[in-house]
Amino acid sequence: MTMRLVSAELVDSRQILPGQWVQSFHAPELASGSRAGQFVHVRTGDYSGLVLRRPFSINTADPATGIVTLHFRTVGRGTEWLTRAREGDRLDMLGPLGRPFEVDPRSRHLLLVAGGLGIAGIRMLADEAVRDGRQVVILFGAQSASLVYPSSLLPDEVEYVVATDDGSLGHDGFVTELMVDYEAWADQAFACGPHPMLKRLAALAAGRRERLGVATLGRKRGGGKHDPLGSTAARRKAFLQVSMEQTMGCAVGACLGCTVIGVDGPQRVCREGPVFAAEEIAWESIA
């Protein structure tokens, strides 16, 4: 689907965690045309008349009901304004924007890794994968139990494994430490969260083949055929894809305000991303 500007009607708004909200909008064009990993640019206000636009991952999209949901944290005036919106209010949403996750059709086992609000970036992929008959494990990391995403908001078919930095729930430590337990099982991994988490996962993914001692898990290596870095075909074959969070200006590729350093030069998160294959990113440039 091509990007369009839609008028989305708020139909439900709820706080699911301290400072974190899930809002549901009736926006049939977005619900039926979006893929996991894509985002919308939402026009918000701030009571002073200033118009702001904010990017949000599309948290879920249900073509049957025409409902899309956004999951966000209140971090400033725009998101604060959003939490005060009432059912029936209409918001301008530009989308879907960006490139989605690319799942290899041969992949049976998908490992999804999320840090904090990064769950919003991979949530829809869980729905797509379950619908397509794939097995899904979600590894989720948060600072403490009070910030753990509720399992009741996930599809029943998903195996959900939690880590907390303070050990108050699940694994005591970083979510990245759980990766080792699942890397042999997983055909592909998809992650969204803080950049240090993604950097650690990329390092683990790069060393994975030696640890496993088997090259490919039955995957053909393409016999010399080489898909260009960043192409859909190359991404589809990547073991690890990451959704990069970055502040944005225009969200449509024009302002260059959202770039990250890739191995082939600057990459616009809003346009070449937000999803990248891990090997596209120059991780040494990421703090």
How far apart are CB 276 and ligand FES at their closest, in Å?
Answer: 14
Instruction: Give yes or no for residue 124 binding ligand FES (CB under 6 A).
Output: no
How far apart are CB 141 and ligand FES at their closest, in Å?
Answer: 27
Q: Per-residue x/- mask for ligand FES, residues 211 to 250, rule CB under 6 A?
A: -------------------------------------xxx
Instruction: Give yes or no for residue 270 binding ligand FES (CB under 6 A).
Output: yes
Instruction: Give yes or no for residue 196 binding ligand FES (CB under 6 A).
Output: no
How far apart are CB 244 and ligand FES at their closest, in Å?
Answer: 11
How far apart are CB 5 and ligand FES at their closest, in Å?
Answer: 16
How far apart are CB 258 and ligand FES at their closest, in Å?
Answer: 3
Q: Residue 259: left if φ>0, alpha if ψ -120 to 50, beta else—which one? A: beta
Interface pick for ligand FES out of 8, 61, 161, 258 (rule CB under 6 A): 258
Instruction: Give yes or no for residue 255 binding ligand FES (CB under 6 A).
Output: yes
Using the rule CB under 6 A, give the single segment among 122-130, 217-225, 255-263, 276-284 that binds ligand FES.
Answer: 255-263
Name which of 33 and 55 has its Cβ closer to ligand FES.
Answer: 55
Name which of 94 and 175 has its Cβ closer to ligand FES.
Answer: 94
How far apart are CB 273 and ligand FES at their closest, in Å?
Answer: 9
Name which of 196 and 249 has its Cβ closer to ligand FES.
Answer: 249
Interface pick for ligand FES out of 167, 253, 264, 266 (rule CB under 6 A): 253
Q: Across-strand partners of 142?
A: 164
Beta-carbon contacts of residue 14 (< 8 Å; ≥ 6 apart): 21, 22, 23
Using the rule CB under 6 A, give the single segment among 12-20, 43-51, 232-240, 256-264 that binds ligand FES.
Answer: 256-264
Contact call for residues 20 and 72 (beta carbons, < 8 A): yes
Instruction: Give yes or no for residue 41 binding ligand FES (CB under 6 A).
Output: no
- DSSP letters along the chain, please? ---EEEEEEEEEEEEEETTEEEEEEE-HHHHHH--TT-EEEEEE--SSS--EEEEEE--EEETTTTEEEEEEE--SHHHHHHHT--TT-EEEEEEEESB-----TT--EEEEEEEGGGHHHHHHHHHHHHHTT-EEEEEEEESSGGGPPPGGGS-TTSEEEEEETTSSSSEES-GGGGHHHHTTT-SEEEEES-HHHHHHHHHHHHTHHHHHS-SSTT----TT--PPTTSHHHHHH-SEEEE-----SSSSSSS-TTEEEETTEEEETTTT-BEEEGGGB-GGG--
Using the rule CB under 6 A, give the single segment among 99-107, 149-157, 174-182, 251-259 that binds ligand FES.
Answer: 251-259
Q: Which residues bind ligand FES (CB under 6 A)?
A: 248-251, 253-258, 268, 270
